[in-house]
Structure 1
Amino acid sequence: MSDIAARTRSERQVWAAPGSSHDRLVRLSSIVLPVAIGVLAAFLVMAPLTMRGDVSFLLDKNKVEVAKERLLIQKALYRGEDGKGQPFALTAGNATQKSSSEPIVKLSELSAAIRLPDGPASLIANQGRYNMTTEQVMMDGPVLFRAANGYRLDTQNSIVDLKTRKLQSGGAVTGTVPQGRFSANAMKADLETHIVTLDGNARLRIVPGRAK
């Protein structure tokens, strides 16, 4: 080994020897660096709690998605009682309510189960609107009513009052009663007493032997 190489190696050994300035620097760093990291971490955690002032931002209303429905329910069920305390149940595949202050609920695939003195009855429609305040159902499109003893009503765009059990059609109606079949341009019906009032082009075909 040359004298220059030996001298360089000796200087490095002295610089790295225990108790040298480098050794003291390493020991000091092993203490100071962890403490500094702990202080920095504590500052980052506490900074959001000590910040004051409001944070503001601008929102472009043209780029914000607005919910079209406030409440959308699948497989909705509404229960109530009529003026005589008889229960009814209104079910729907989907129910949509725009706001909590609006009592109108839009229904699809709706059906109503009503208990009448002579047995259960049902109302079926594709879609409609239920007023939770008046408990009236405004049904759009075809409406089917089925009750005991062969009572059947087929009509369009009808309004049913679940409290009074009365139905008013908004279009042509056909039906079947124990006495026979009937048709008319419009109809009012008391679903409980089975009293039907026909209006416009009323026709009734009575089956002999059934009329009382």
Structure 2
Amino acid sequence: MSLHADSSSAPPQERHPNGRHLRGPRRGPFADHTHFVSVMKIALPALAALLLGLVVVWPKLSRMDSGFKLGFASLSPKSVDTLVMKNARYFGVDESNRPFAVTADTATQVPGNQDLIQLVNPKADFTSSSGANIVVDAVAGIYHQSSKVLDLSGGVNLYHDTGYEIHTPTATVELNNNAARGFEPVEGHGPQGEIRSAGFEITGKRHDITFTGKSQLNLRAVSHKAQGKGQGKGAKTR
């Protein structure tokens, strides 16, 4: 009895035209290792380049987190028409070259009019031609730059270095000639007593305080020495 191999289940083999059998591609551990080396030749340089880039960029990224970030904002023309200054200070001289100063917590330029400045808590300090120092403050004000006129409102307080202090709702100070006036009820007091009037003026070379309109003065008793010392200065009614 002879045995015969069943060739029906064996996979067919390709033959070379010269009749020799062809073998398929080799598979094994060496082939996988070669493929791995080829991939690493590309991946390792790319990874090294990425790490080098992070080393260069990282310090810049860390500074951005802890520092100021600056940028440009898209502002409309209307949003830049108004200029605001905190703790504003303005110094000038009057027509006689005497200095004056105007200060405010906030100064805002009126939109459309560069001559007008709105002031919050304004204060004006000027010296009269007679050498008297006058200080005026208020809750609000508008300063006219060209004419050097200060319109005060919201409650005005005026202090004269002769000892007088007056209070009135509104007042106008003309810094160019160191004059001031008000046309609303006035309450004040000083060395001579207390006074109420319909208004006041500080004008003229002597810069006395003149109370205008219907006035009421409650006098204090003063010595003749004090009267002589204060002669020429102080308040008077009209």
Give the TM-score range, shorter chain.
Answer: 0.5 to 0.7
Q: Identify if the C-alpha distance between structure 1 residues 93 and 192 changes in structure 2 by more than 3 Å, giving closer, same or farther.
A: farther
TM-score by length of 1: 0.64
Q: Identify if the C-alpha distance between structure 1 residues 92 and 99 changes in structure 2 by more than 3 Å, giving closer, same or farther.
A: same
Q: Which structure is higher in strand share?
A: 1
In the TM superposition, what are the counterparts of 1:44-193 in structure 2 within 5 Å? 67=79, 70-99=82-111, 101-116=113-128, 117-176=130-189, 180-190=193-203, 193=206
Question: Which residue does the alignment assign to 1:6?
Answer: none
Identity of aligned residues (%): 21
RMSD, aligned α-carbons: 3.7
Work out whether residues 127 and 178 of structure 2, in 8 Å CA contact, stay in contact via their aligned partners in 1: no
- How far apart, CA to CA, are the structure 2 residues paired with 1:24 and 1:124? 86
- How far apart, CA to CA, are the structure 1 residues paired with 2:43 and 2:163? 95
Residue 189 of structure 1 deviates from its aligned partner by: 2.1
| Structure 1 gap ranges (5+) | 1-9, 42-58
In the TM superposition, what are the counterparts of 1:22-61 in structure 2 within 5 Å? 22=35, 25-26=38-39, 29=42, 34=46
Q: Identify if the C-alpha distance between structure 1 residues 136 and 28 changes in structure 2 by more than 3 Å, giving closer, same or farther.
A: same
- How far apart, CA to CA, are the structure 1 residues paired with 2:173 and 2:114? 19
Q: Identify if the C-alpha distance between structure 1 residues 16 and 79 changes in structure 2 by more than 3 Å, giving closer, same or farther.
A: same
Residue 159 of structure 1 deviates from its aligned partner by: 0.8
String of CA shifts for 1:9-48, please: whole Å, max 9, x gaps: x722242355xxx3785377459x85xx99xx9xxxxxxx
Work out whether residues 81 and 112 of structure 2, in 8 Å CA contact, stay in contact via their aligned partners in 1: no
Residue 179 of structure 1 deviates from its aligned partner by: 5.1
Question: Which residue does the alignment assign to 2:9?
Answer: none
Number of aligned residue pairs: give it. Answer: 173
TM-score by length of 2: 0.58
Q: Identify if the C-alpha distance between structure 1 residues 191 and 74 changes in structure 2 by more than 3 Å, giving closer, same or farther.
A: farther
